Structure formats: structure tokens, C-alpha cells
Chain A
């Protein structure tokens, strides 16, 4: 019968099972014998080995990638520094150690306790302090016998040779925080790992971070290193080549001087950020260090808010610079023709309210050209009223207002491009007709960032083709040595006729030639631009000088050059400096002239991609 035994097979099977049992017992007896040999006969020997032969896993932090400007000038590198570590498993009396360390290094005991209690296995030494002074490092080394488990390690420390130069752009680094460690993108990091906390260091962290390695270190009972086996080599992060030209960047920063404000220079043909200055600034070398709570509070509470990147995070009313997109909107929506005129007698009556022109005597009969050149408010009140806020908002959005430019920097602000829908949603109130009139000259609810305005004027200069502002030109892979260029990213095209842009650019050129921005007139290159004066306080009385500075107007100037085939677009904002034509226009002129002087000899504006021969060559620090 299938599946069952025959008598003889059954018997055979039982016999074999008995053999199997014997075999099993024999093998298990052998195992037991071996274990007896290991644990009983040689147990004492192995116990000795286990006590004197501790293995410790030591992390090897990777070197962060270097950051260069577009010409290969070094902006961020790494320098050696002493760090203090404690190996927990060798600490017998934790409180005694805390006391000794706090005495020697003048540190708060609570701070050390917190550091020792951080997350991670028992095996992973805890970093207590970095950037030890040489004196402290020597002090610790000389007390080493009293400080079991304490180690001084030489590590690479982030260094910014330029100090405050481009600090908002570069950002700074710091220890990964407990909250960050919970997130998946930081899963390969450990307590004490360094990550970018601001600026490019943060937004491009995954490129420059590198990968930690570790080594296994055998130490004897006295804590002396006997043998180190590198299990995994750390892998250095990749190098970044930025789009900025550090010479232009420094100039922009010097031009702002002690004033608060921002200057952004873009290449309109591809969106490259050539300079992005924000003042006041901070020293990233200081912020990349471990700050005491007091130092941190000082920086955060500073009235000038130095950590704020005014170029991408400062939101200001655009003032008359807003007339540029409004002019495009009016022409494209056929609200006006280039020839139709509005009579300006210094004010615009709406209901029982009069909206005043900045020129109380009025501009007379103005067409679009003249309205832009002399920044006639009444003309724009009129066309704003005709277009209505929603049509204005549609064009504003086409120019990227009220939305992120997509620049790869943390916490970019979007500003506000108001509309009836916006007001209903955000303010829970209906739109008032008078608000349209303020909005038409870039006041009221409208706010923008300097980066958005630079992007806007670049779009106009480029006949409506818009690029996402780009910060990183190329990434060099440290492993393969490959230079990967990050391409320019087109974002869209303004829905307007070339004729419209020609008209607008002609007018903007005349703004500089004969209009409100004659101070931007250059002998080097033709410049087109638009001034703006953004009101801070609604009601102003008396002359400018008598108003407290914090209520004075912000000065705007947005510009591009050369007018014929633009290679650079600039937005300047200076807080509380009054007139755009006086305070902002000269700065834009300086930046533009410097740009053309710096790029003399080459066809101005061609992207000077980091040539392969530059890479690896020692670049002089700033």
C-alpha cells in the first residue's frame, strides 16, 4: 500500500533512527566537550583576555565637502581642532568625572551631564566639547591618569576663511539635534555628528555631509590604545562650486556697509545668483561652535536680526518697483495702449478719499512710458482701478510674486500677492476697492523679498523667460572625481508679447537716463531700472529727517544691464534709507559696473564654469 511501510523497511528505519540518536548524542557530547574546554579548562585565560582586551568602537567623522565660489575661491573648508570625548564604559564614577572636568575646563556641570546622557549605545564615546584651546587640550592630557575614559581627538572643524562674507548664503554647521536625529534623513548620523543648520550648508547637506566611518580600537585595562582596526573608512563629502562671484559678493556687502538691507545680483540668462548680500551679518565660524545659551540669546535677540537672510526671508512692500509688473499687466490686458494718457494733477479721488501722488504738483498728461520714467502714482492708481486686483494678482503671480522662487535655501519667504480670494481666505474679510489703489503702487498688502524682485527684473530683462535662481553650479564627487554640473532650471514664461517687453525696457532705460534714477547712470554700461520707496508707516508728517529712523521708508532699486542684451539683474533694498533713487540706485550701479569690470576680457556674463583644471588646485583663501 502506498505511503506505508513494508515490514522490513519499518525495521530498517527503526535501526537507522537508533544510529541517528547515537550520532546526535556523540556530536552534542563533542560540542559540550569543546565548550567545557573553552569555559572550564581555559576559562580563566579567556576571562583575562576579556578583561584586558576591551574593544571600543570609535567613530571617524567624515570631512565635510569644501565650498568654492564660481571661480574656485575657497569659501568653506575644514581645519583640525581638538575635541573632548568620554568613553562611558570606562567611567567608574560619573559624578566625580563631571566635577573634575567642570573644574578643569570651567564648564557647567549640568552641561557635561547632559552631554554624557545623550542618545547612543554604551560603546559610543560621547563628545563633550569641541574646539578646545591648546591650553585646555594640554591640561586634559596632563591629567589623563585621573580622568579614565577621557580622550582628546583631533577632528576637522568647519572653517569659513571669509568670516562674515556670504554668511547668510553659506550658513553654518552644528551638532545634529535630538529632534533631527528622529528624522529619516538623519538616520545615518549619531549624536555629535555635524550637519548644516543654515544656508547652503543645510540645504545641500546631503551633498557635503559625507559618510562616517568607524574603527575598532582595542584598549588595555589602563585605557591605552593598543591596536586600531579601521573597519570602515570615512568618506569625505562632495565639494560644491557656487554660482556666486565672491568679489562681487564682497563688494555688495561693503556697499550696504552698516545699513540693514539686501543686494541680489542674478544672471538673467540662466538664473545664476552672482551675489546675495544681507546685512547685518553673522560670523559662521562663531555659530558653528557650540554656543553658550547666553551667546545664543544675544544673537537671537539682536534687534538687527543678523540671522535673517534679508534677501530671501525679508518681506517688504515693493513700492514703485511694483509698477514694472503692473505696466506689463496693463499692456497685455489691453487696459491701456502705449499712447493712451492719464492726466495727473497730484492726486486721485476715490470716493471721499484722495490718493496722493509723490509729486504734489502733478505730472500733467502721462502715457505709460512717462509714468514709469517719473514713477507717476496717479497713472498707476488709474490703471490699477481699471484692471482690478485679481487681474493684477494674476500677472504678479506670473512674475513669481507671492510664491517661492524655488531657490535652494532654507526657509525662503514668499511675500504676499493679494487678491480677493486671498483676503477672504486669510483675513476673512471682503476685498475693499480702495485697497486695489494702494496695491497698484506696491503698497497695502503687497510684500516681496529682494530675491523675488531680482528674479522679476531678470525675467523682464530676459523678455519673460524665467529661471529658478541657482546657487550651486556644480558638485564634485570626492570618490569618482566627477564634476557634475547642475543645470539651469527654466521655471516658465510670462505670457506677454516681445513688443511689451521692448516698451518696458525702453522706459526703464529712461528711468536711469532722465527719470528718477539718474544716480544709477553709468559711463561703463547702459542700465535700465526702476526705483521704489516703500512706506513703512502709513502716516508721515514733516520732513524726512524729523522722522525716527525706524519709521522711514525703505529704498528700492531694481535694475538690469546692458539694456540691449542684459547679462546681470540686480535688486537693492536698503531699510529706512528713504528714496530709492538716492539710497539704492547708486549701489546697484556700483555692483553692475564692478561686474562688467571683473568680467572684462571675456564676453561679459558667460558662465565661467569651474574648469576641470581648477579643481584640486590650491585656491587661495579669501
Chain B
């Protein structure tokens, strides 16, 4: 088998640039987390220290996912998916509830969010599925992978975690598009989605919590604002806008320092950064993100086999989706759905998951030059 003779290569300048970008983005995240939480109690340690610890664990995950042959990792996709599904069921019964959603499993003083890890596992499952055999016909290309995704999606929406659910669908859609869907199959799929939309919408809207409906309504109609949810979106816009070109400087962001923004260190960390570092800072961060994704797409295009290429595409599209939706929602372009900004937002699960994904990407690249068929 090809897998066996795959030969891993060491570090090169590409890898250095790649890791350099990750470190730079993580640094920006730490700075903004520290800025917004420096006068808060973080529990056992200040937030930025805890985030450093998460990055430490994330580095470990990165190295493991980089070092271990991705073919071997992909072979674990289905068992891993089973574990994730179990955890998602478990979290519904035993999870820790916060803001009306039951997403966390408590582990001593920490808690982790299985839905974050479910995203990466879904990528593995779909990549493994498509690369295992030539999948032909719309049934094999669209329906079967869709059914694979469905249980995880339903469990995540049940929590409810709209943001993770949407990224789930986004990963599926992106991989579907990359393996290619014949127009006929695509047509049928589209037809079905259109026909099912009213039911799906009913199901989705009905499953949403009040606060989520209010967020969406506040987006559609800012005057629909019974208890200040649109106010939240407005204050986020004020924070970003008042940063102007140069920003207000570290610790200078009056909007974020006064903590009108809940989740200023998590989902709304971008608003904090934009307020304190201005449009210049925003451009720097966007360039860093685009460069990272650009390099990742290079990896995808030069992957030595379909499995590698699909893994790379899945990971890239997931990260893109999170980045775009997060920045879009803080800037008032999308409704607030609660997606953290990868590598920047505070949070153990999302940081570890993002870094593990990037390690897997580099893994694909690391093995691409060996035995190119």
C-alpha cells in the first residue's frame, strides 16, 4: 500500500512561514484577551494565562496531528465519530448549561465543548468516505455523506448551538463542491432543499432559544429590541467603528474596557481588537488570515492523494467559514450566531481544535513529495 511507504519530510521554509503566521495570530488573540480581561477575575488564573495554557495543549495537538500519518488518522475517523456522537448525546443529559444552551462537559475545573471537536471529526469522516472508493451517482456523492453528517448536526442543533451547526453544514457543502457534483445530482439536491426548506425552517426556528430568535430578529430589524439584544450588536459596531484608522491603543478601547460587550474575550474579541488597533490593525489581521489560508490551499492543491486534498479543503473551508462569519457578525453583516474567531477568541476547545486542524494540514503537506503517484 502507498500508505506504508509514505516517507515523512522534515521542516522547511514553507513550514516556518506557516507556523510563523499561526504564532502571529495567536499573539494578537492573547493581546486582545488580556486587554479586555485585565481587570477581571479569571478564576484560578487570569484569562490570558489560561489561554496560554490552552495554546500549550493546542501545540501538543498540533504536533500529534502533524507527526502521525494522516492516513492512519483518517482510518480512525468512524470510531472517532462514534465517540463524538456519544459525547454529544452525553452533553444533552449531563452537560453544563450556560446561557440557555447545554454545550459543555465539565472536567474538573474545566469544561470542553464536544461540538468543536465534532467539526474536525466530520472533516475526517467525509474525507475518508470520498477517498475510500470512487463515489459515483448522486446517491453516493450527496445523500450518503449527508446522512453521515445528519446525526451530529441534529445533536448539535439540539443543544442548541447554531454556530457549530452552521459550520457543520458548511464543511459538508464545501467538500461536496470540491469532489464535484454533476449538475443532475446538484439539481436534485437543490430541488429537495427548496422543497424541504419550509419544514427545515420551521424545525430550525422552533428549535431556537428565545435569545437566538431575538438575535436574528434584531439583525433583520434592529428596532425589534425588547431587552437590548440589538443594543449588543450596535455596541459591537460602535466599538469597531470608533477605532477609526489608528485605533485607541492597547487598554484604550473605552467601549470594550467598560464591558458593555459580554463575551468581549470570546465571540466578540474581534470588536475589541478593532477598537484598540483600528483599521490598520484589522488589515494586518486579515492579511495574516488570508496568508494562512492561501498557504493551506497550496497544501490542498499539492496534496499527493485525494484523502489529503479533501482533508485540506475541509479544514480550510471550516476555518474560512468561522473567520468570515465571526468577523461578519461583529461587524453587523450577519446575525449573531455565536461562532468564535479561531486562534484569536478565548476558549480551550476552539483553540485546541483549530491548532489540531492546522497540524493535520501540515501533515498533508509533509507527505506530499514522497512517492507522488
Residue numbers of A with Cβ under 8 A of B are: 1-5, 9, 12-14, 16-17, 20-21, 24-25, 27-28, 30-32, 34-36, 38-40, 42-47, 49-51, 53-57, 89, 121-123, 216, 229, 231
Contacts and interface: CB of A to CB of B under 8 A. Distances in A.
B180 A39 contact: no
A49 B332 CA distance: 16
Contact of B331 (A4, A31, A56): A31
A11 to B, nearest CB: 11
Contact of B178 (A13, A27, A34, A56): A13
Nearest to B227: A229
Nearest to A6: B134
B301 A38 contact: no
Contacts of A21: 294, 297
Interface in B318-342: 320, 324, 327-328, 331-333
B240 A35 contact: yes
Contacts of B283: 32
A4 B243 contact: no
A28 B40 CA distance: 33
Contacts of B227: 229, 231
Interface of B: 2, 39-40, 71, 131-133, 174, 177-178, 180, 227-228, 231, 235, 237-245, 254-255, 257-260, 274-275, 278-279, 282-283, 286, 289-290, 293-294, 297, 300-301, 304-307, 309, 313, 316-317, 320, 324, 327-328, 331-333, 373
Contacts of A12: 180
28 contacts: A1-B2, A3-B131, A5-B305, A16-B180, A17-B297, A30-B333, A31-B286, A31-B324, A31-B333, A34-B333, A35-B240, A35-B274, A39-B282, A43-B242, A45-B241, A46-B238, A47-B242, A50-B255, A51-B254, A53-B238, A54-B254, A56-B258, A57-B259, A89-B258, A121-B40, A216-B260, A229-B227, A229-B231
B177 A4 contact: no
A40 B231 contact: no
B279 A35 contact: yes
A229 B228 contact: yes
B133 A38 contact: no
Contacts, number: 149
- B interface, over-half SS: helix
Contact of B258 (A13, A45, A123, A231): A123
B301 A17 contact: yes
Contact of A55 (B235, B243, B244, B245): B235
Given A28-B286, A121-B39, A121-B40, A44 B244 contact: yes
A49 B242 contact: yes
A31 B326 CA distance: 11
A37 to B, nearest CB: 9
A25 B297 CA distance: 12
A216 B258 CA distance: 11
Contacts of B40: 121
Nearest to B324: A27
B274 A39 contact: yes
B284 to A, nearest CB: 12
Contacts of B331: 31, 34-35, 38
Given A31-B327, A35-B282, A50-B255, A1 B373 contact: yes
A40 B279 contact: yes
B51 to A, nearest CB: 19
Contact of A231 (B228, B254, B307): B228
A287 B356 CA distance: 58
Nearest to B331: A34
A24 B320 contact: yes
A45 B279 CA distance: 15
